[in-house]
């Protein structure tokens, strides 16, 4: 069975501050891990993916995530928040043979001016 836990349903940061969104996963098989972003009334946009290559993954819009097997974590970071980063972020997991994504409950990021 696979599951994803996102700590913090709401995160608020100041513009220019570090963004850290937490994701822990549980998977009985080596996982594929993903981060998606959803802007209001839109679909999901893929930010980045982990597929067992490099443990530090760089994505779009300056985001990156580090896969830590020992901590079963895949936290999303961005060095400097921008107002346009305000959105909801979802961590998701899939595994070999199970291609359906299992999503976390999401973290709403608010960026204060």
| Interacting positions 43-102 with other proteins (CB under 8 A) | 43-46, 49, 51, 90, 94, 96, 98-102
Inter-residue contact 32 to 94 (CB < 8 Å)? yes
12 binds other proteins (CB under 8 A): no
Q: In angstroms, what is the minimal distance from the CB of 60 to other proteins?
A: 13
Structure token digits, residue 90: 């979802």
| Nearest CB to other proteins, comparing residues 35 and 81 | 35
Tokens at 57, concatenated: 């993954």
For the chain, state the CA radius of gyration: 13
**Beta pairing class for 73-78 and 64-68:** antiparallel
- CA–CA separation, 37 vs 64, rounded Å? 13
Shortest distance, CB of residue 41 to other proteins, whole angstroms? 8
Residues that bind other proteins (CB under 8 A): 32, 34, 36, 42-46, 49, 51, 90, 94, 96, 98-106
């Amino acid at each position: 069975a696979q599951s994803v836990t996102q700590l913090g349903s709401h995160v608020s940061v100041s513009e220019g501050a570090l963004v850290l969104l937490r994701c822990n996963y549980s998977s009985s098989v080596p996982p594929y891990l993903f981060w998606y972003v959803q802007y209001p009334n839109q679909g999901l946009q893929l930010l980045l993916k982990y597929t067992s290559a490099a443990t530090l993954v760089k994505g779009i819009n300056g985001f990156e995530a580090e896969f830590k097997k020992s901590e079963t974590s895949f936290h999303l970071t961005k060095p400097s928040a921008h107002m346009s980063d305000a959105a909801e972020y979802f961590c998701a997991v899939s595994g070999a043979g199970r291609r359906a994504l299992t999503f976390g409950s999401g973290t709403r990021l608010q960026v204060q001016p």
